[in-house]
Amino acid sequence: MAKTTWKASALLAPVPPVLISCADGERDNLITVAWTGTLNSDPPKTYISIRRERYSYDLIEKSREFVINLPSAHIIRSIDFCGVRSGRDVDKFEVCSLTRERASQVGCPMVAESPVSIECRVTDVLPLGSHDMFLADIVAVNVDERYIDEKGKFHIEKCALAAYAHGQYFALGKKIGSFGYSVRKKQKK
């Protein structure tokens, strides 16, 4: 099997097409971002990379806060819309019929229809080229109670999370393992 070598590009996949909510005290907005990820576990740190020309850029730069709303297949059409229309022209909450929900630690709203909303406070802004990276502390995590059972276990598999790969959206499929399962001893029946 041979691989064709292409010039360098950002083809890491899949990535989550997250819905970022942001506000500056006067205006709020939604922007879809795929350039995001976890940077550190303790303290929990994350990042989003945003082009300077985005309407959302100024809001986040001013407030130094944002919320990462995880993508579910139920709202993937809205997620795409928020990635191709600007808050300069439309109120994306209104057009997409998404519900603003008050966050616990930051001033910008969360998206009620997203199963998990992660509140973030910016610590650094790194200009990288096409995008600036907003490095942030995670200050609170909000999980839809519908996915938490009576024992407090979070059933993430029920959230219908979506992924983005090479320009296309996918619904996550069936579970094929769990952390460390390859070395775990099989339980005797």
Q: Report the nearest approach of ligand FMN to the CB of residue 30 (Å).
A: 7
One residue of 14, 83, 121, 156 binding ligand FMN per CB under 6 A: 83
Q: Report the nearest approach of ligand FMN to the CB of residue 137 (Å).
A: 20
Q: Report the nearest approach of ligand FMN to the CB of residue 8 (Å).
A: 17
One residue of 46, 49, 63, 78 binding ligand FMN per CB under 6 A: 49
| Region from 29-37, 109-117, 171-179, 180-188 binding ligand FMN, contact rule CB under 6 A | 29-37
Question: SS3 sequence, 32-54?
Answer: EECCEEEEECCCCEEEEEEECCC
Asked if 163 contacts 12 with a C-beta cutoff of 8 angstroms, the reply is no
Q: Report the nearest approach of ligand FMN to the CB of residue 146 (Å).
A: 25
| Region from 50-58, 104-112, 120-128, 177-185 binding ligand FMN, contact rule CB under 6 A | 50-58
Residues 86-145 that bind ligand FMN (CB under 6 A): 86-88, 131
- Here the tokens at position 75 are 């709202």
CB burial of 80-111 (b: ≥16 within 10 Å; e: otherwise) equals bbbbebebeeeebbeebebeebebeebebbbb
Q: Would strands 168-171 and 28-33 be described as parallel, antiparallel, or unpaired?
A: unpaired
170 binds ligand FMN per the rule CB under 6 A? no
Q: Let me know if 3 is exposed, middle or buried by CB neighbors in 10 A (0-12, 13-18, 19+).
A: exposed
What is the contact surface with ligand FMN in residues (CB under 6 A)? 17, 29, 31-35, 49-51, 54-56, 80, 83-88, 131, 164
